[in-house]
Amino acid sequence: MALGVGAEAALVRSRARADERADSPSIDPWRPSCGVCAIIPDYPPEKLDVIIAVEADDRETRAALDARKAGVPITVIPVPASGPRTKPKALNVALPFARGAFTVIYDAEDRPEPDQLRRALRAFSNGDGRLACVQARLCIDNTGDSLLARLFTAEYAGQFDVFLPGLAAMRLPLPLGGSSNHFRTEILREVGGWDAYNVTEDADLGVRLARFGYRTSVIASTTYEEAPARIGPWLRQRTRWFKGWMQTWLVHMREPRRLLAELGLAGFAGFQLVVGGNALAALVHPLFLGGLIFSVASGVPVWRGGGLAASILAALYGTSVVIGYLTSAFLGWLGLMRRGLSGTAWVPVLTPLHWLLLSFAAWRALYQLIVAPYAWEKTEHGLARTSRLNADMTRSLIELERYLTDLENAGLLPAIAYDVTYTYADRQPLRRAAA
C-alpha cells in the first residue's frame, strides 16, 4: 500500500502481529503537504511504501526530514518549483513512484486512527471491483480553540458523519475530502490522477471516478484534523475551497449532455446540488439577507406582487431558509450528536452567522477565479491550543491511576517482587491433562 505522507516530517510505526504480515497487501502512504505528523498505523512496516512529496526549494522541510528518527524508510520526491504550485501537482509527480496495490493520501497535520488502513482494506475486500476509493471520516480535534473551530467541528460532523455516508449509500458522486482517501492505485492511474490546476482536486477526482463508472464508500474510521481558529487563515482556506468547487463545476459542465449520460439522472442532479449548489447558495445568501433586512425595516415584502421575477425571488428566499439554514443546522446537530459532542450541539444555532462568513469567502473566491484561478493559499497548521484527543488520553490515564490506587489500597493488587530473579530452570512444567 502506498501511504501518502506529508512534507515536513513524518513518523510511521507499525504494531501489526507477525502472523498477519504475509497476507497484507502493499500500501503507498503519501503526504504532499507541509506540517508535522505522527502516524502510527497498525500495519506491517515492510508492506508500507511511505512517499513524501516536497517542493524542491523547501529547504526547511528537507532539513526536518533529514533530522527524523523514524524506523520506517521513506521516499522523498522533490517537486519542481514551477507552476502550478499546488497539492495535486505534487501528487501527480509522486504517482509514478507508487508501488503498492493501494494508495492513501494524508495531510501533514492528520492523526488517523491506528487501524484505519485495515478498515479500508476490509472495505475493499468486501466490495466489488467498481469500488475505487474509500473515504475515512474527518473530524476536528481543536474544537475548543475558538468559535470558528466549533463551527468547523459542526460542519465536518454533518459532512463526514451524516451527509457523505448518505451519498455513498445511494451510490451518488462523492466529493472527496482532501485527506484520508484510500484508492486502488491501478484505477487512480486509469482516471488520470489529479487535476494539477484544480485547487480542490479531491472534489474533482470524486466526480471523475463516478464518470468512469466507479464508486466511493465511507468507512467508520476517523482522521483528526486541525481547523483554522482565526478568521484570516479560515478565510484563505475557505476561499480556496469555494474557488475549487466553482472550477470543478465549470470543468465537468463543459459538456452537460455527456455528463448526464455518464452520471445518470440521479448522479447529475446530485452533482448540481452538492458541487454547484454549494457555491451558488453561498453567493446568493447576501442577496437573501439584504432583502430580508429591507423587508423587516420597510414592512413591505420584496416578493410582493406578481410576475416571474417575484416568483423567482420567493423561491430563492424559501430555498435559502429551508435548504440552507435548516438543513445545514440539522446536519451539523445530528453529526455532533453522533460524535458524542453534545456540549457543542448548540453551535448550529449560529448557522446564519456562519453562512454570512461563507458568503464573503465565496465572493472572494469568485474574484480569485477571474484574476488568479490557480493560486493556492496555503493553510498554516500546528497552531492548535486545545486537543480533544490529548484531553481524552490524559483523562484515561488519570482514571487508570485512580483505579490502580483503589486496588492497591484494598489489597487487591498483587505485589511485584523486584529483587527476585527467575531463570528458565525455575519454570515448572505444565501438568498433562488426565485422559
pLDDT tens for each residue of 240-273: 999 999 999 999 999 999 999 999 999 999 999 9
pLDDT beyond 50 at 17: no
Has residue 5 got a pLDDT over 60?
no
In the predicted model, what is the mean pLDDT of residues 398-407? 75
Mean of pLDDT values over 336-350: 94
Q: What angle do CA 413, 419, 422 make, to 5 degrees?
A: 95
To the question of domain 2-226 being in CATH 3.40.50.20, the answer is: no
pLDDT of 1 > 80? The answer is no
Instruction: With CA atoms as reference, report the closest residue to 187 among 211, 170, 171, 222.
Output: 211
Average pLDDT over residues 347-356: 93
What confidence tier does 18 reach under pLDDT thresholds 50, 70, 90? very low
What is the rounded average pLDDT of the residues 119-144? 95
- How confident is the model over 358-376, as pLDDT tens digits? 999 999 999 999 999 999 8
Grid coordinates given for 185 = 492505485
For residues 26 and 374, give the distance between their C-alpha atoms in angstroms, rounded to a whole number: 34
Average pLDDT over residues 10-19: 35
The pTM of the full predicted model, rounded to 2 decimals, is 0.81
Which range of 78-92, 258-272, 293-307, 418-432 scores highest in mean pLDDT? It is 258-272
User: What letter does residue 48 receive in the DSSP assignment?
Assistant: B
Top pLDDT among 68 and 216 is at 216
Question: Which residues, including other chains, have CB under 8 Å from residue 189's CB and lie 6 or more apart?
Answer: 95
In the chain, the amino acid numbered 370 is I
Percent of the chain at pLDDT > 70 equals 78
Nearby residues of 13 by Cβ (< 8 Å), 6 or more positions away:
40, 41, 45, 70, 71, 72
Backbone angles phi, psi at 10, to 5 degrees: -135, 140
- Residue-range domain boundaries for the chain: 2-226
DSSP letters for 140-181: ES-GGG-HHHHHHHHHHHHIIIIIHHHHHHTT------SS-E
Q: Quick one: pLDDT at residue 403?
A: 75
Nearest residue to 182 (alpha-carbon basis) of 235, 276, 118 = 118
